[in-house]
Amino acid sequence: MPHSVASGGSPASHKDEELLPDAPPTENTADASELNGEDNIAKKTAGVKLEDLFNDEDDDDNEFPASSAPTDVKMENTTAPAQPPVEVDTETMLAFYQRLFPFRYLFQWLNHGIVPSPDFGNREFALTLQNDAYLRYQSYTTADLFRKDILKMNPSRFEIGPVYNRNPRDRKTLGSGQLKPLSKELVFDIDLTDYDDIRSCCTKANICEKCWAFVTMAIKVVDAALREDFGFQHILWVYSGRRGAHAWVCDPRARNLPDDRRRAIAGYLDLIRGGTQSGKRVNLKRPLHPHMNRSLEILKPYFAQTTLIDQDTFQSSEQAQRLLSLLPDKGLNDSLRKKWDSAPNRSSTSKWADIDALAKTGKSSTLNTTSLRDAKQDIVLEYTYPRLDSEVSKKMIHLLKSPFVIHPGTGRVCVPIDIRNVENFDPLSTPTVSQLLSEIDAWDAEHPGGGTAEGPEGEGSVPDGSDARGSRRLQDYEKTSLKPYIDYFRSFIAGLLKEERTGKRERNDEPAEVKTESMEF
Amino acid sequence: MIRQEFQRVDPKRRAILSHKKKQFAAPAFKQQDYPHRLNFYETPPTAEITLEQFEQWAIDRLKILAEIEACSYRNKTPAETTAHITPLLQKFLPLSSNTSSRDGAEDPRLKNERQKDHYSHFILRLAFSATEDLRRRFARAETMLFRFRFQADDSRERRAFIDGLSLDWESVSDEERREVAEHLVAATPGLRRSDEETWYKVDWEKVPELIERRTVFLSRGKAYVPEREQLSMIIAEFTTRLERALELTSRALPRLDEDDRLSPILNHLSKNFGSAESVYSEGEGFVDGAPITASSIDPLSQHFPLCMRSLHMTLRKNNHLKHFGRLQYSLFLKGIGLSLEECILFWRQSFKGFTDDEFNSRYKYNIRHVYGDVGGDVNRRGRGYPPYSCQKILQDSNPGVGQTHGCPYRHFSVDNLIGLLQSTGVNDRDLLRGVREDVEKTRYHIACNRVFEYTHKAEIKKAKEDGSASEIDLDTIVHPNTYFKRSYLLKQVGKSQRNA
């Protein structure tokens, strides 16, 4: 194993340069890529780093553990500090990029093909470094260069911007207005903070299963509209790592939309307008637009479950007061208020039922049943309809956090959400980075010799998963609970690429011709 | 590269001659006749006109465009705009319909009118294609002009014009229409039965306005548009074509540099298209001698217009403001002359409950950005953004959940607005009724001015009496910073007199 020199130096330098986490990985990856046995070394350095990190005090610095023996120890060490995943330190982050991050698939996703194209090369990435510096206009020609740079910079997260007409790195050499965004996925952002006034279980950055239901219903409504109304097919939903979800609409037609068309879609999907001061925030015309009708059908059961039972939204008297202010009939409101005042702890479900019950008794002579029904529909929508951050969707140049990066606050991986199974997605059981790393170690411990001798490594650098001997070497992510998510991502990309290939053949005719001509010069 | 360019030329425009012989060939141009009143301005004019005509026609059209833009900035309703523009159009740029003359489109008078319209459009294209900003404004104003004329057009002629455009709209078969009839009725407001209309099926991208307002049925990326919504489609088509053409013109513009007859005229024209946004010039909101520091904002806030006052009150109540609120308020504060250092101090003190580190990492950058201290290219960012005008606040902000920016007259419910006014000490019943009416008629700036006049009644009267009113002009206020300045100055007048 050609590791002795290259990796032997690294633990020492790590200890010396705690403050400059960038430097050592650079050397390592550079060395690694020069050697053909890249795999072994990459694996070794990753292992070392883990150890370095978790047993500082008893690090002997004189030898490497044989991969099989000390993994148990390592595992215990890694799980212990991972319990409250508050901050992800630089070493863990680096190990994640090296061993788990699916650079290759991310590349294929954005490149829309295997051969590097401007779709990837002119794409802007923005990195947030460990010292919180923000680096915009980064771009990479290939997956390998992308991986190398991420390993070098070790960003705490990075975001994806649009494809430009030129390489965004050259922007300073271009005149003003020369660098223009050409395309980007149409994106949507749902964030639970926008639901703070109607969720009673948590506030701010905290979430629980109960309030995640708001995100689930939002995803269903938006997804249905995008597919059925706009005819988009390739929609990737991604957990944002803490309290929300992003959608990436990747159809070629969506990617090329200019800003005003994006604004039109955002407006189409946007319903709840007005700030805290605007009173009734949903005032729909009748008959309901088909999109609203469908959304209402999707949302009704959620209103009954989430709003009325789980959140028990109207339980407090202020919220009940607000509910009354949304109802149209004064006489009915008075009798409702009287009833609710006499039973202060009445649940939301009963209160909601009271509206119809009292309306039926006919106490209020002015009551108009149609307007009451409409108002009730408006209320259901106001309390359940998706609250999108529409600014994100309106501009092509808006940057959005990449899938599969780690949320620095929670340590959770921003995994894709399988839309076919969106109800069962539980944000609190998505893998955290430290959990994943210990899973690799646990797997390696259980399968001594199974792939470890050959040294599995970061996914991005393997040319192909299959081995010459026929027995496929497992990649690191396959040993962890990240596997289903990456598998889903792969199948998503496969679907996208299939459409791209048929679409591209027509478009590619002309550029090919140009290429041959330019040879004549 | 060169041949690639050559390849891209639209086949219809491609020279039939070999390009080597081209320079000796006599130019062969398509003769223009104008069968319709309206024009999509697809083919550039080629006949000769005099330089005087060149300039005069352009200036006439420019007057119209400038007026149209001014109307939109003053937030006039379509009806008011029509009333304002119609006589001007008649004077500067008449365009009569075929029916107005016995000879129809053959009448030389109509021909001349249409020629002038056609030529002046293309001259202004040259003048306004230079910068992105000018292109956008020109396209906007031209689109409004086109819409205005299209709506006023005779329905038969309009139909002939549309048929002549050959747009690819797929019409919906009766069978398909019956299938989706229910959805069509539900999606299209003001429609009872789907068979009253002829329906077209177009890519939704062609009707963004209808999509955004959610007033069209949409299925699998196709919008089902009733015939009467043609306007929206035609307008969208007009704008896209014009924008594309302007982009092309701008690339051809450098070749015109050597022409010393046209360039000066064109330059002059584009400068005269005065930016309506520049109603507010830099430093205009500054009040000489007023001590403006972080600590003086609280007392000064009584002079703020309601939008800023509301932000200030929210800030004091929550010790926090969301992003767009901070942006709107910081720009305003910059406009009244608060320095960057004082502004940072002001926000630091206002955001209680944040540590210095949190404040510096989350908020400070944005404040500096507002002042043009950081961000973008040093040479291009200037001094940051100008403070928002009422126009900008009314049109561009649309506060979402938990946000407090925007214009209270527009974005608050009437009851909350009245509540807010009362909390600032405006209780007069007649006045509040007036405000209610204004808001219902969407005359938000009138409502705001009404409140201003009421709260400064005594001072305005005094100022008028002693003649100092000329210094403080009393036009309608269309900028929050003007509101502040005028309010402050008027109160000073009142004070100094009382002292005297």
Residue B288 located in a structural domain = no
Question: Per residue in B47-75, pLDDT tens?
Answer: 888 888 888 898 889 888 888 887 776 66
Please name the member of B185, B413, B420 whose beta carbon is closest to the beta carbon of A279. Answer: B413
Assess whether A481 and A405 both reside in one domain.
Answer: yes
Contacts of residue A518, Cβ cutoff 8 Å, sequence gap at least 6: B1, B4
Catalytic residue (one of A189, A194, A441, A444): A189
Q: Are residues B390 and B434 in the same domain?
A: yes
Mean pLDDT lowest for which of A496-510, B174-188, B318-332?
A496-510
A339 touching B (Cβ < 8 Å): no
CA-CA distance, A68 to B222, in Å (whole number)?
Answer: 60
Q: Is A510 among the domain residues? A: no
What's the domain count of chain B?
A: 3
Q: Name the more confident of B453 and B400.
A: B453
pLDDT of res. B498: 53
Task: Let me know whether B49 and B152 are in one domain.
Answer: yes
Boundary of a domain, candidates B236, B264, B283:
B236
Choose the closest CB to B411 out of A177, A228, A275. A275
Assess whether B266 and B159 both reside in one domain: yes
| pLDDT confidence of residue B276 | 44
Using the Cβ of B400 and the Cβ atoms of chain A, whether some distance falls under 8 Å is answered with yes
Q: Round to whole Å and give the CA distance between A205 and B365.
A: 22
Residues B31 and B77 in one domain: yes
Residue A506: inside a domain, yes or no? Answer: no
Domain end position, chosen among A385, A416, A441: A385
Residue A346 lies in a domain: yes
Q: Same structural domain for residues A31 and A162? A: yes
Give the residue among A399, A392, A354, A347 at the shortest CA–CA distance from A372: A354
Cβ of B208 within 8 Å of Cβ of A289? The answer is no
Nearest to A186 by CA among A115, A252, A93, A282: A252
In the three-class reduction of DSSP (H, G, I as helix; E, B as strand; rest coil), residue A463 is classed as coil
Domain boundary pick from A332, A355, A385:
A385
Q: Is residue B126 scored above 80 in pLDDT?
A: yes
In the set A91, A124, A223, A389, the catalytic residue is A124
Whether the pLDDT of residue B8 is over 90: the answer is no
Residues B60 and B120 in one domain: yes
Structure tokens that stand for B423 in this block: 């909390």
* A422 DSSP 8-state letter: G
Residue B64: CATH number of its domain: 1.20.930.80
Residue A225 lies in a domain: no
pLDDT at B495: 64
Cβ neighbours around A326 below 10 Å, total: 17
State which residue of chain A sits closest to B401, comparing Cα positions. Answer: A275
DSSP string, A3-15: THHHHHHHHHHHH
Q: Which residues of B touch A177 (CB under 8 A)?
A: 132
> pLDDT digit string (tens) for B79-112?
888 888 888 888 888 888 877 777 777 788 888 8
Whether B230 maps to a domain, the answer reads yes
Does A191 participate in catalysis according to the annotation?
yes
Pairwise CA distance, residues A1 & A158, whole Å? 34
Same domain, A378 and A422: no
Query: What's the pLDDT band for B31 if we cut at 50, 70, 90?
Result: low
Residues A41 and A18 in one domain: yes
B359 and B303 fall within a common domain: yes
The label of the residue with tokens 């396209």 reads: B139
Q: Cβ distance A104 to A460 under 8 Å?
A: yes
- Is residue B115, in this structure, part of any structural domain at all? yes
Q: With the CA atoms of B361, B363, B366 and B371 taken in that order, what torsion angle do they form, in degrees rounded to the nearest 10?
A: -110
Asked if residue A191 belongs to a domain, the reply is no
Q: Is A467 a catalytic residue?
A: no
Classify the C-alpha dihedral A320-A323-A327-A330 as positive or negative. Answer: positive
Residue A164 and residue A60 in one domain: yes
Q: Per DSSP, which regions of A403-457 are E strands?
A: 416-417
Q: Which of A385, A415, A449 is the last residue of a domain?
A: A385
Q: Which two tokens stand for residue A297?
A: 């059908």
Same-domain check for residues B157 and B200? no
Domain span holding position B171: 165-236
For B271-291, write each residue's pLDDT tens digit.
766 544 444 555 566 766 667
Q: Do A273 and B398 touch (CB under 8 A)?
A: yes
List, as one string, the DSSP characters of B362-419. Answer: IIIHHHHHHTTSSSS-TTT-TT-PPPPPHHHHHHH----TT---S-HHHHS-HHHHHH
- Exactly one of A38, A52, A91, A191 is catalytic; which is it? A191
Chain B nearest-CA distance from A404, in A, is 24
Is there a catalytic annotation at residue A58?
Answer: no
Exposure string for A190-205, b = 16+ CB within 10 A, e = fewer: bbbbbbeebbbebeee
Distance of CA A252 to the CA centre of its chain: 20
Specify whether B57 is located in the same domain as B152: yes
pLDDT at A102: 94
Report how many domains make up chain A. Answer: 2
Residue B284 counted as domain residue: no
Say how far apart CA B443 and CA B434 lie, in whole Å: 11
The answer to whether residue A511 neighbours chain B at the CB level (below 8 Å) is no
Is residue A265 in a domain?
no
Q: Which residues pair with B224 in a beta bridge?
A: B201, B217
Chain A / chain B CB contacts < 8 angstroms = 115
Mean pLDDT by 10 residues, chain A (521 residues): 40 39 38 40 40 39 38 36 56 92 94 91 93 91 94 93 92 80 94 85 81 93 94 94 93 92 92 69 84 94 90 86 86 87 87 87 75 90 90 91 92 93 92 91 82 44 44 80 93 92 59 42 43
Residues of A in Cβ contact (< 8 Å) with B395: none
Tell me which of A13 and B374 has the higher pLDDT. B374
Q: How many other β-carbons are positioned within 10 Å of the β-carbon of residue B165?
A: 13
Same domain, A125 and A24: yes
- Looking at the domain assignment, is residue A297 inside a domain? yes
What's the CA gap between B189 and B192, in Å, rounded? 9
Are B401 and A387 an interchain contact pair (Cβ–Cβ within 8 Å)?
Answer: yes
Note whether B399 contacts A: Cβ–Cβ < 8 A.
yes
Please, which pLDDT band fits residue B167 given cuts at 50, 70 and 90? confident
Domain with A76, as residue range(s), is 4-173+180-184+397-488
- A149 and A11 in a common domain: yes
Domain for residue B86, yes or no?
yes
**Together in a domain, B448 and B332:** yes
Residues B412 and B318 in one domain: yes
Closest-CA residue of chain A to B410: A278
Give the C-alpha separation, A438 to A436, whole Å: 5
* Judgement on whether residues B227 and B345 belong to the same structural domain of the protein: no
Is A253 a member of any domain?
no
Residue indicated by tokens 């901070």: B326
Whether residues B401 and A277 touch (CB distance < 8 A) is answered with no
- Do both A328 and A423 map to the same domain? no
Nearest to B239 by CA among B9, B37, B44, B40: B40
| DSSP reduced 3-state for B108 | helix
Residue B287: inside a domain: no
Whether residues B170 and B144 share a domain: the answer is: no
Position A385 scores a pLDDT of 93
Instruction: Sort residue A387 into left (φ over 0), alpha (ψ -120 to 50) or beta.
Output: beta
B281 domain residue, yes or no: no
